[in-house]
Structure 1
Amino acid sequence: MIVEIDGFYHQIMVTGKKCSKQELKQMYLSAKQMTVDVSDLPSIFCRINKFEIIPFDEDIQVDFVIDTDTDRIYTPSY
C-alpha cells in the first residue's frame, strides 16, 4: 500500500502493509499525538507503523492521501 503524506511542510510517499481507511486514520492520529514538530510527522508515522519512505513520484497512484493541514484522509481519483 502506498500513502501520500501531504502538508505545508512535506509531500512524502510511504509504503507499508495494507490497511483500511479507518485503521490508517488511527495510525495517523497516534503518530500525530507523539509529534512535537509537524515536520517530524512522516518519520514518526513510519517508525511506529513499520512503513518506509519512498522517493516521491507524482506519477505513482497512491491508495490514500493524508492531508496533515486538515487531518483529512481520502482516496484520490485518477
Structure 2
Amino acid sequence: KGILEGITRDVVMELCDVEVREIHLQEMEEFEGAFLTSSNKEVMPVRSIDGRVMEIPLVIRELMEAFSKNLLHNI
C-alpha cells in the first residue's frame, strides 16, 4: 500500500527474503536498520528515523554489495 513498484525494488526482493507489510511507529524502536531503494540511489541506508540515529547493519551493507554486483553483472 503506497509503495511504487520499481526495478530496483524488484531486484532487492529477488536478492533477499522480504516481508511486505505495514509497519507501525512503535516497531521502529526494534529496527536494527532500514533502507530505501530508487533507480538513481540504488540501495540507500536510512541514517535516522524520528530523531533516532541508526547504524548501517551488516545485512544492509551486504545487500548493498550484492545489489552492486548484480548491477555490474547485468550491464
Larger RCO, structure (CA 8 Å, separation 6 or more): 1
Identify the structure with the greater helix proportion.
Answer: 2
Judging by fraction of residues, say which structure has more strand: 1
TM-score normalised per structure 2: 0.33
The structure having more radius of gyration, on CA atoms, is: 2
Q: TM-score, normalised by structure 1?
A: 0.32
